[in-house]
Structure 1
Amino acid sequence: MSDIFEETEETLRAQEWTRIAKKSAPWAAGIAGLALAGALGFWGFTTWQDKEVAKASEVFQAGIEAAAKGDSTAAKASFEQTAKGSNSTYKAMSLMQLAGLAHRDGKTDEAIKLFDDAAKASSDPRVADLAALKAAYLVMDKGVFADSQKRLTPLTDAKRPYTFLAKEALAMAKLQNGDAAGARADLNALSFELDAPEGVKQRAQRVVAAIDFGVAPTVKSILALPEAETPTLPGGLPPGLNIPQQ
């Protein structure tokens, strides 16, 4: 009898598993289908991103070449096109190029806005902070200390990529605002920063010497900030910068 009960129990168990399998089959198929659709969707999205980056690179390079030839109209058209694209890095770089063109044409306020837009466009601090620093330089040229200080102070954080250039700029803004003592203290400290670039240290030392010799009011005219050394164009972007797929 026990054998019969065991056989019957096994039969019932098998039937129950069969019923459960049949009932869950549509769900299992649906999950498998979703997984496949997700994989195909990811592949398609990645492929689309690659094409977008390649297209943005081509158009951006055309703008660079047009600018090199002095064709501002064509350069601006190319940069405006890539600035409207989906890739955040090319968008930021293009906005910086447009800011450079605006600044060259004497449109300082427009250039500052474009640099600000560029800083917001990229999540890469090497790109975003470069744009923010450029905007701060232009604000300094306008002699607005409060705005310059507000913009530069966050960039002086040790974790930011251009901390030493930002510290130098903030010190110069203080000097520009008549705070020679504050500027001297900041620049003197900067000249002893172990990790600071040698060029920054040397400039800091020269300005400190100029302050000590009593020619602080003319320092800005005889020692320009290194704006040209913080390039806007990709040829001088920070080493190792890769264009992210976003």
Structure 2
Amino acid sequence: MADIFREIDEELRQDNLKRVWSRYRYLIVGGVAALLLGTAGYVGWKEYQSRQQAEAAQSYAAAVALVGEQNDQAADRFAALAQSGGSGYAALARLEQAGLLWQQEKRAEAIASLDALAGDAAAPQSLRDLALVLGGQRRLEAGEAAAVKAHLATLVEGTSPWRHLARELTALAAESQGNRAEARALLRQVTDDLEAPQAARARAAELLQALPE
């Protein structure tokens, strides 16, 4: 799962770099030169960060391996990683914690945990957006369809990589409330979005067929 997030973050970084480069390329050239001058003193810290990240990855994998068999121990490890694993793995650990809470029927706590991560400016944006999506899914599963639309509005109207899932969930919430026209319009956004994953477009098309006008 972590590989997916790294790919998404890389795509976002590439898009941001293109926009920044077109507007500020002359300033960036000077900035790169200044950074190169400081590289010698930076390498030691970079290597330290890399070691820390590798340790966090190992801790995360070990905790995931415990899920299902030793959930209490897994929860303890995720809790520790959430405090010291760096922004990426700490956020992943918090997602796993929310999942364990949901399995324990602690629905309100699970949703609150996801909401807290979604609002954490220190966490990677892609994982904050994923927390929003999962929060919407959990609300739908908990019978809180009326809250889903407002909860996912920023993703539905935005350009996040998770917007397709947000639109699908909002469509399902709309359908559950008898708003079929709204549900179909949201699903059509997914099928018409050429940047949407093929699986998402195919799934939305199937839902459209299942929800005739």
**Is TM-score (shorter-chain normalized) higher than 0.5?**
yes
Query: Any residues of structure 2 matched to 1:146-157 within 5 Å, and which?
Result: 146-157=146-157
**CA, structure 1 residues 92+114, in 2 after alignment: closer, same or farther (shift >3 Å)?**
same
CA contact (8 A) 1:92 1:117 kept: no
- For structure 1, which runs of at least 5 residues remain unmatched after alignment? 1-37, 214-246
Quote the offset at 1:95 in angstroms. 0.5
Query: Any residues of structure 2 matched to 1:12-23 within 5 Å, and which?
Result: none
Counterpart of 1:72, as a letter, is: N
Find the residue that maps to 2:194 and give its secondary structure.
Answer: coil
- CA RMSD in angstroms, aligned pairs only: 2.6
1:64 corresponds in structure 2 to 64
- TM-score, normalised to structure 2's length? 0.71
Which ranges of 4 or more aligned residues in structure 1 deviate by more than 6 Å?
38-41
Task: Determine the C-alpha separation between the residues in 1 that align with 2:121 and 2:52.
Answer: 17
2:183 corresponds in structure 1 to 183
Task: Determine the C-alpha separation between the residues in 2 that align with 1:121 and 1:91.
Answer: 13
2:133 corresponds in structure 1 to 133
Q: Deviations over 1:153-198 (max 9, x none)?
A: 1112442111111111111111112211211222234323222222
Quote the offset at 1:98 in angstroms. 0.7
Quote the offset at 1:51 in angstroms. 4.1
Counterpart of 2:140, as a letter, is: M
- For structure 2, which runs of at least 5 residues remain unmatched after alignment? 1-37
Quote the offset at 1:134 in angstroms. 0.7
CA contact (8 A) 2:174 2:180 kept: yes
Task: Determine the C-alpha separation between the residues in 2 that align with 1:47 and 1:205.
Answer: 48
Counterpart of 1:103, as a letter, is: W
Bigger relative contact order, structure 1 or 2 (CA pairs below 8 A, ≥6 apart): 1
**CA, structure 1 residues 46+144, in 2 after alignment: closer, same or farther (shift >3 Å)?**
same
Indicate yes or no: 2:75 matched with 1:76.
yes
Quote the offset at 1:128 in angstroms. 1.6
Counterpart of 1:101, as a letter, is: L
Q: Point out the more displaced range, 91-100 or 190-199.
A: 190-199
CA contact (8 A) 1:91 1:118 kept: no
1:90 corresponds in structure 2 to 89
Query: Any residues of structure 2 matched to 1:177-216 within 5 Å, and which?
Result: 177-212=177-212
CA contact (8 A) 1:125 1:161 kept: no
Q: Deviations over 1:36-77 (max 9, x none)?
A: xx9998666545534432332232221012226x11122111
Task: Determine the C-alpha separation between the residues in 2 that align with 1:73 and 1:103.
Answer: 14
CA contact (8 A) 2:155 2:166 kept: yes
1:52 corresponds in structure 2 to 52
Find the residue that maps to 2:192 and give its secondary structure.
Answer: coil
Could you tell me the percent identity over the aligned residues? 27
Find the residue that maps to 2:183 and give its secondary structure.
Answer: helix
1:116 corresponds in structure 2 to 115
CA contact (8 A) 1:190 1:204 kept: yes
Instruction: Decide which structure has greater helix share.
Output: 2
Task: Determine the C-alpha separation between the residues in 2 that align with 1:53 and 1:60.
Answer: 10
Counterpart of 2:74, as a letter, is: A
2:165 corresponds in structure 1 to 165
Task: Determine the C-alpha separation between the residues in 1 that align with 2:55 and 2:207.
Answer: 46
Q: Which has the larger radius of gyration?
A: 1
**CA, structure 1 residues 40+194, in 2 after alignment: closer, same or farther (shift >3 Å)?**
closer
